[in-house]
Amino acid sequence: MSEQPVAVRLAEEVAAIARDDLPAPVLERALDLLRDYLGVALGGAAEESTVALRNGLATLHAGGRATVLGAADRLSAPHAALANGAAAHALEMDDTHQGGSIHLGATVFSAALAAAELADARGDTVLRAAVGGYEVAARLAMALRPAAHYGRGFHPTGTCGVFGAAAATALVFGLDRDGIAAALGIAGSQAAGSMEFLANGAWTKRLHPGWAALAGLHAAALARAGFRAPATIIEGRSGFLHAYTDGADAALLRPSGGYELLRTSIKPHACCRYMQGPIDAALALRAAHRLDPSNVARIEIGMLAAGHPIVCEPVEAKRRPRSVVDAQFSLPFGVAVALVCGSASPSEFTGGWLTEPAVLELADRVTAVRDARLDAVFPRQWPSWVRVILRDGTVRESAVAHPRGDPENFPARAELDAKFETLARRALPVDRVAALASAIGGFSDASSVAPLLAAAALPR
């Protein structure tokens, strides 16, 4: 008897998540990640790229009744998922799965909430959908091997995210195993996302999670209508694993004895995940030794090989970012601005700091160092180290095994709340932020997503 297709096996697991009892810590973490998603989406709602996207959708007459977070616009459900996913990725503060090097919440929650608004689903249904969506997308990203997938020019948030969005939407729509498998099969023909945005700091990376969410909604809707799909979309001769990587490990698609949602980290800094640990270390040295950037002769940073081409190359361009996106993916700039300002929030990755002489002079002294010891534990861990050499020859060093926000170093409730409130206030008045926080607190038992979404949008 032949083995079940991978999509069917995954669909069985997703269907079980919908009906079985889940451990309380899993649902609690899902709620934490929902809160983080809403904060980063609201924080990015007014970014120039997000506004341009919504204006483009208006040109296409994509209007409807679905909620757009942090805005008065209303769009069709798929287009609302697109807009919300792009907004959630704009500040580079959305969550990241360690093993898959993939942003999950911006895609999965954008799709699940849009589907839940259509179906008037319960809060618990959305949280379970997130658990299933995170599981599918994260395992696919791990199976592709992040470094190999990046090496082919793909962005896993877009390519694997569409499968997670399809799984989550299918669960909200109440599809059975075969329907979920069909949704995954349809999703595979929509998997896209190019890393070429790095060439000129383009906005296309911000499009990826939103487009994956939109595609996932279409995949689940078509599956529900009986649209046929290949069952072997993942492992087949022309399937996902063969087409999108040179280093697939199909064994990573099987259950690992836990939930991938619990292996997902939250970002404290407004930049690429590969820069989080080095910035943590730089800020720790700044605080411990009261470092004066003008006294720094050079800075050496131990960098993971998988992140090197993303945030370190070409070094001349990374030391002189020309746009916010460039800065978000520049290790020299990120470390330099953190040492100068004592923070790496969205404010430090704006136009003014891109031309600040003190930051640029320090960025010229930042050098990335390849370290096989770091690579030996990647992607289970994302470690780094920073060595600051002062002009008088003094050396200050700090190593980070688990950056802030990692599952092993997860933020306390106060820090989660502070991040959410700070970002949400970029789009909403204080009273509406408070109403949204209250809706999140009761979301697990909510009979509808309507109150939460009403609090998260501006009145028309």
Least confident of 25-34, 106-115, 247-256, 431-440: 247-256
Inside any domain, residue 25: yes
Q: Which three-class secondary structure string do you get for 137-161?
A: HHHHHHHHCHHHHHHCCECHHHHCH
> Is 179's pLDDT higher than 70?
yes
Angle made by CA atoms 423, 78, 186, in degrees to the nearest 5: 120
Among candidates 86, 94, 102, 140, which has minimal Cα distance to 306? 102
Task: With cut-offs at 50, 70 and 90, classify the pLDDT of residue 425.
Answer: very high
Q: Tell me, yes or no, whether 173 and 193 share the same domain.
A: yes
Inside any domain, residue 1: no
Q: Tell me, yes or no, whether 280 and 399 share the same domain.
A: yes
- Predicted pLDDT at 2: 63
Q: Is the pTM of this model over 0.75?
A: yes
CB under 8 Å to 452, separation ≥6 — which residues?
123, 436, 439, 440, 443, 446
Q: Tell me, yes or no, whether 72 and 170 share the same domain.
A: yes
H or E segment at 351?
helix 351-354
Domain around 17 = 6-267+421-455
- Predicted pLDDT at 350: 87
Q: Tell me, yes or no, whether 128 and 228 share the same domain.
A: yes
Q: Give the Cα separation of 14 and 174 in Å (integer).
A: 11
- Predicted pLDDT at 420: 98
Inside any domain, residue 411: no
- Predicted pLDDT at 308: 94
Task: Give Cα separations from 410 to 33, 157, 231 (angstroms).
Answer: 11, 22, 37
**Average pLDDT in the chain:** 96
Task: With cut-offs at 50, 70 and 90, classify the pLDDT of residue 434.
Answer: very high
Inside any domain, residue 324: yes
Inside any domain, residue 136: yes
Q: Tell me, yes or no, whether 239 and 280 share the same domain.
A: no
The tally of domains found in the chain comes to: 2
Q: Tell me, yes or no, whether 331 and 443 share the same domain.
A: no
Residues in the chain: 460
Say which CATH number the domain at 309 has.
Answer: 3.30.1330.120
Which tokens sit at 195?
């890393």
Inside any domain, residue 367: yes
Contact 186, 150 (CB under 8 A): no
Q: Tell me, yes or no, whether 242 and 257 share the same domain.
A: yes
Q: Is 355 buried (19+), middle (13-18) or exposed (0-12) by CB count in 10 A?
A: exposed
Say which CATH number the domain at 49 has.
Answer: 1.10.4100.10
- Predicted pLDDT at 379: 87
Q: Give the Cα separation of 52 and 358 in Å (integer).
A: 32
- Predicted pLDDT at 256: 86
- Predicted pLDDT at 1: 44
The winner for highest mean pLDDT among 145-149, 176-180, 456-460 is: 176-180
The label of the residue with tokens 């075969």 reads 178
Inside any domain, residue 409: no
Q: Tell me, yes or no, whether 361 and 387 share the same domain.
A: yes
Q: Tell me, yes or no, whether 237 and 331 share the same domain.
A: no
How large is the average pLDDT for residues 112-128? 98
pLDDT in tens, 354-383: 999 999 999 999 999 999 999 999 988 999
pLDDT in tens, 300-335: 999 999 999 999 999 999 999 999 999 999 999 999
The 3-state DSSP class for residue 399 equals strand
Inside any domain, residue 33: yes
Q: Tell me, yes or no, whether 342 and 434 share the same domain.
A: no
Contact 335, 342 (CB under 8 A): no
pLDDT in tens, 254-272: 998 899 999 999 999 999 9
